[in-house]
Chain A
Amino acid sequence: MKKRDNTELRRFEKASPPNTREASAEGDVWASAGARALGALASGALALPGLALPARADSPVQETTARGAFSYYKEDNLSPSDFDNTSGGSRERYSIFAYQFNLLTPLTSRIDASFDMAFETMSGASPWWVVPDPDVATTGQAFLQVMSGATIFDQRFDGQITVNHYFDRGRASLTGGASSEKDYLSGNIGGSVERNYNDRNTTHSLGLGYSWDTITPTDGATNHGRTLPEYLKNVFTLDTALSQVITRSTLFEFAFAYKRSTGFLSDPYKRYLVGTGTTLPDSRPDTRNQITLAGRLRQHIAPLNASVHLDAAYHWDDWEVNGFSAELGWYQTVFEVVRIIPNFRYYSQSQAFFYGPIFQSSSPVIGTSDYRLSPFGAISYGLRAEADLVDWPARGFDWFASASYDRYMSSGDYALQTVENPNPGLVSYNLFSVQLGGRF
């Protein structure tokens, strides 16, 4: 108990008076207790591409923080019972190595900046289209997945810069960045504002973003009917969030997100089977309007030294996809510096109105057999451990480390609605991550 008191004292020593300078919204262990309350409140802004990164509190960070993370993502190989082995291709699905880096640093007494970079290497086979199983009478399997060869290799580099200017009762942010792949280039800009009211118990944020993407299909794209040298897509986003302190140990946020996409929204490498037995290039509407409503609740349980995180979101769009997700996390603090975090998530969606998976018509105007636009549900769970080290090995050096494992499984059986013929390409994966950070 005495040790905890000393730790709290050190935190206050390192912080400025909470009425004038607040800490980062990440709620870092190094920040003052009073300051971090505002930090937790203020993280309501959304990190859409082109939109300012998660909102921070009422003042810039006072010390530079650097974080790095490595993740390994591996999809389960396609089951032999779902695989069309007559058309070649490979059952080996994607694996991705992802590296992330973040640098957060003060610039002036009112301004700080965040630099985010991500680098990914991707390889494996990709689902192409769906065919009927000729042995359906014996296997009970209605459809099989046609796959590409496991020869796909790509890299993605993503960089984002965000500058935050803090006012007495709010913040304004500007962000910009770019993402580059072999066949894809995306640029984005955005801005957000945030203001607190009601003795800082209520925080409202509003953000706008815009991105422009250029797709230059490669890897046999001409075989998929992509004959133009490039295709364009534009995305506009609007996000607003309201965070409210309910009690001394309860926090709630309500968020609204809108996204409008226009241009080439198809997958350049997918096809779908039509009644004549031939395949056509994946073809989707050239506009899409999406809305998500979400609520996030944080409740601390003092007798157990733990906190509960409950997130729920409801989505719908004019492609007639309705989605629902609910996520529960339990943050158990042990030895004051370690958190053990089991989490569980459920997700369900309906199909897009132009989803097949195959089409009886010989020439439908639009269509897709993409499993991501099919009806399905998903269950995921994970376990994460985090540790904070303050003033170690010497005063002024603080460290953060975490390791996590997540498992994701999707299936037609998990959907809220009845799915008679689930897409054979539905994905399951494992995700391993480690992260290390320091403040200096």
Chain B
Amino acid sequence: MRRTMIVHIACVMTLAALLIGASGCAVVKPWERDTLARKDMALDSDPMRATLQNHIRFSKEASLPVGGGGGGGCGCN
């Protein structure tokens, strides 16, 4: 139980550190965004694949996936 709690706290702290890190950034002008515009830099580079993956995780795991259930359905079995 104690080990679980430590892991949970570590997870939350990691997320918080990433969030704090995001706040200390400079303004990037539109003409400087060629790298950010690459397809391999997209947050969801393949929405159709993400939809399927989220639906499978919704059916097989108990957590709420980022991206939701990927559509309706029973998810039974």
Chain A residues within CB distance 8 Å of chain B: 18-19, 25-29, 31-41, 43-44, 46-49, 51, 53-54, 67, 69, 71, 73, 94, 98, 100, 102, 116, 118, 122, 124, 126-127, 152, 156, 158, 160, 177-179, 181, 183-184, 186-188, 198-201, 209, 211, 213, 215, 237, 239, 242-255, 257, 259, 267-269, 290-298, 300, 302, 306-307, 311-315, 317, 319, 321-325, 331, 333, 339, 347, 349-350, 352, 372-373, 378, 384, 386, 388, 402, 404, 408, 410, 416-418, 427, 431, 433, 435
Contacts and interface: CB of A to CB of B under 8 A. Distances in A.
Nearest to A51: B68
Contact of A178 (B43, B69, B72): B72
Nearest to A124: B77
B28 A247 contact: yes
A306 to B, nearest CB: 8
Closest 9 CB pairs of A and B: A48-B68, A37-B33, A179-B72, A323-B63, A186-B72, A36-B37, A27-B42, A331-B40, A315-B63
B72 A158 contact: yes
Given A36-B38, A47-B47, A435-B49, A252 B22 contact: yes
Contacts of B51: 47, 100, 116, 118
Contact of A307 (B30, B40, B72): B40
Nearest to B28: A245
B71 to A, nearest CB: 5
Contacts of A410: 60
Contacts of B66: 46, 255, 257, 292, 294, 296, 311, 313
A314 B63 CA distance: 9
Nearest to A44: B43
B3 A292 contact: no
Interface in B45-70: 45-52, 54, 56, 59-70
A372 B60 contact: yes
A374 B43 CA distance: 31
A238 to B, nearest CB: 11
Given A252-B18, A321-B62, A213 B76 contact: no
A44 B36 CA distance: 15
Contacts of A39: 37, 42
Contact of B25 (A201, A386, A418): A201
Nearest to A233: B74
B63 A27 contact: no
Given A40-B36, A184-B73, A427 B42 contact: no
Given A198-B27, A313-B65, 20 more contacts: A25-B44, A33-B34, A35-B37, A49-B71, A71-B52, A186-B73, A215-B74, A243-B43, A246-B22, A247-B28, A255-B66, A268-B76, A269-B76, A290-B63, A295-B14, A319-B62, A322-B4, A333-B40, A339-B40, A416-B3
B63 A321 contact: yes
A342 to B, nearest CB: 13
A252 B8 CA distance: 22
B40 A402 contact: no
Contacts of B63: 290, 292, 313, 315, 321, 323, 325, 347, 349
Contacts of A372: 59-62
Given A26-B44, A40-B43, A254-B22, A100 B52 contact: yes
